[in-house]
Amino acid sequence: MYLAADKLEENYLPNAMPGREPQLERISDVLEPATKGQPAESCWEIGPSGVGKTSTAKFLLDEAQDWGVDWTYVSCTSNTRWQVLKQIADDHPAVIAEDNKSTSELADLIALPDKPFVVILDEIGGLDEPALLADLANAEWLSLILIGHRRANALSQVPDRVDRLRYADVVEFEPYSHDALFTILDARREVALQHGVVDDSQLDRIVAEAGGSARFGVQALRSAVDLGIDRGHTTVREEDIDDCFERAHERIRKQQLESLSRGHHLVYRAIREHGPLRPVEIYEHYDRLGGEHSRQTTVKYRRKLDEYDLIEETVDGWIAVDETLAAPLREQRVI
């Protein structure tokens, strides 16, 4: 059934962004000085999971490279302040940073070049060390595209006196319209699948179920095809569509849990293994599992797990959405 299964992968970048023209225009306006060799400001991308925030930023910056604007992508989850700075330094064409450089030395090196450079800083809600934002805001020629799910949670990460980021433009992302999401999935179908494997009515069912989330739509499409293959079908049948949605949810939850840090995993383990738990009980179990951060930090971890639909709150406390999904065992970092 597949022509190119990789075209249904999470990291596949399409050649168009239907439904995101207003967002592309606003971010382009912010970064326009960089295309002329001048320092540019930063901006926020805020919206729920699966609505094209990361893809929009990467799509735009791929085009900006034609104008000489270099960029990199970094996720805040599962990376320390030092690791984020080191990755930026390694990817910056005008910075040479040895592995033995300290956090402050890396921040100073990144601030030295007088050439525009853009950093996509994803999953701001997963940032453990907000001082990183002060490090980056101090670099005049560095522009940030900061990506978060909820405006209040994201902006609360900005340290005091970092007004350059606190008052940066906020670009909102709403769920995709039905027509835009159909166009997105139709384009994926054309490049990923043999002709006739999934018909328009089946694709329309997936779009209707996706609720404006391209991530869920793409995963549901892939799940339907995989189910059809597993069942020996030559095309996707209605029973494959019926069963693809739960498989898509399972895949997304697994991917998102694996993307998180050890601290998130410890909070998830506490809730999954001992839930339902009240917030104070979550921290107690987190501490017993070897967690090293404060009660306030575990609240941030819990919020991120909630945003990813990995946990839910009941009248008795927090529980895991899927009790069969276990957190990966990740060793404590020494950096």
Report the DSSP beta bridge partners of residue 117.
Answer: 70, 142
Do 48 and 138 belong to one domain? Answer: yes
- Residue 129: strand, helix, or coil: coil
Q: Is residue 335 part of a domain?
A: no
Do 49 and 121 belong to one domain? Answer: yes
Do 151 and 25 belong to one domain? Answer: yes
Q: Is residue 291 part of a domain?
A: yes
Do 77 and 217 belong to one domain? Answer: no
Do 282 and 307 belong to one domain? Answer: yes
Cα 109 from Cα 85, distance rounded (Å):
10
Q: Among positive and negative, which fits the CA dihedral 168, 163, 68, 33? A: positive
Q: What is the CATH number of the domain that holds 225?
A: 1.10.8.60
Do 41 and 156 belong to one domain? Answer: yes
Do 84 and 222 belong to one domain? Answer: no
**Is 34 in contact with 80 (CB distance < 8 Å)?**
no
pLDDT for 202 = 98
Q: What is the CATH number of the domain that holds 116?
A: 3.40.50.300
- CB count within 10 Å of CB 75 equals 20
| Amino acid identity at 87 | Q
Q: Is residue 331 part of a domain?
A: no
Q: Kind of pairing, strands 43-46 and 142-148?
A: parallel
Q: Is residue 333 part of a domain?
A: no
Do 42 and 167 belong to one domain? Answer: yes
Q: Is residue 214 part of a domain?
A: yes
Q: Kind of pairing, strands 317-320 and 311-314?
A: antiparallel
pLDDT for 335 = 42
Given 115, 140, 172, the domain boundary residue is: 172
Q: Is residue 91 part of a domain?
A: yes
Given 226, 256, 286, the domain boundary residue is: 256
Do 103 and 185 belong to one domain? Answer: no
pLDDT for 330 = 61
Given 151, 172, 193, the domain boundary residue is: 172
- Residue 219: strand, helix, or coil: helix
Cα 300 from Cα 67, distance rounded (Å):
38
| pLDDT tens sequence for the chain (335 residues) | 999 999 999 889 888 999 999 999 999 999 999 999 999 999 999 999 999 999 999 999 999 988 899 999 999 887 889 999 999 999 999 998 888 999 999 999 999 999 999 999 999 887 888 999 999 999 999 999 999 988 888 888 899 889 999 999 999 999 999 999 999 999 999 999 999 999 999 999 999 999 999 999 999 999 999 999 999 999 999 999 999 999 999 999 999 999 898 999 999 999 999 999 999 999 999 999 999 888 988 998 998 899 899 999 999 999 999 999 999 876 554 44
Report the DSSP beta bridge partners of residue 146.
Answer: 44, 121
Structural domain including 180 reads 5-11+176-256
End-to-end, the C-alpha distance of the chain in Å comes to: 45
Residue 276: cis peptide before it, omega within 30 degrees of 0: yes
Q: How many domains does the chain have?
A: 3
